[in-house]
C-alpha cells in the first residue's frame, strides 16, 4: 500500500472508518488502522482462529 497509493480509505463492517494520506497511517490514533497496519491480533478488529 505504501508504495502504490497516495491516499488510503479504511473500511470496516461496510463503513468508512478512516481516510488519510499514506504518511498519516503511522500517526493516526484510530485503533482499527493501528491494529491492521501493525498486523496485531489484539484490538478492536475481531480475529477468528
Would you say the pTM of this structure is higher than 0.75? yes
| Mean pLDDT to the nearest integer, 2-20 | 96
Residues 6 or more apart whose CB falls under 8 angstroms from that of 10 comprise: 16, 17, 18, 19, 30, 32, 33, 36
Q: Are 33 and 19 in contact (CB under 8 A)?
A: no
Q: Are 38 and 31 in contact (CB under 8 A)?
A: no
Q: Confidence class of residue 2 from pLDDT cuts 50, 70 and 90? A: confident
| Mean pLDDT to the nearest integer, 10-18 | 98
Q: State the DSSP H helix or E strand holding residue 23, giving kind and residue range, or none if neither.
A: none
Q: For residue 37, which of 6, 23, 14 has the smallest C-alpha distance?
A: 23
Amino acid at each position: 500500500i505504501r508504495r502504490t497509493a497516495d491516499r488510503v480509505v479504511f473500511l470496516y463492517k461496510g463503513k468508512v472508518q478512516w481516510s488519510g494520506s499514506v504518511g498519516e497511517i503511522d500517526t493516526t490514533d484510530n485503533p482499527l488502522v493501528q491494529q491492521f497496519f501493525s498486523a496485531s491480533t489484539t484490538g478492536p478488529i475481531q480475529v477468528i482462529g
